[in-house]
Amino acid sequence: MELGDFVRGERKRQGLTQQQLANKSGVGLNFVYQLEKNKPSVQLDSLNLVLRALGYSVSVKRDFRPWDEPVQAPVENAAEAEPKRAAATAKRRNTEREWGAL
């Protein structure tokens, strides 16, 4: 489900028209329309106003993982994670050595 689909569903669940949601949240009708159509140009501050009017909020959390590093599924415990981390580090070092030799 995309964010616009969520907003549209929640707006309808609460019995609001797009105009009522726009008035309640302090944004323009066109913004609500674009948001519900999942347009990519939605501004975060305006999005927060709409979500707050529906009783929700968004929080942004910093992710310290480099963007090009694949996301790994969570592991059950730290003892399970360490061998995987060590193998990944060794592989990266070997690759760095190979490229350094060129």
CA dihedral 56, 62, 68, 73 (to 10 degrees): -70
Cα 17 to Cα 8, 9, 21, 63, 97, distances in angstroms: 10, 11, 6, 36, 61
Structure confidence by residue, pLDDT tens digits, 64-75: 555 556 656 555
pTM of the model: 0.49
How does pLDDT run across 37-59, given as a tens digit for each residue? 988 776 777 888 888 999 988 77
Does residue 53 contact residue 18 with C-beta atoms inside 8 Å? no
Q: Which domains does the chain have, with CATH numbers?
A: 3-53 (1.10.260.40)
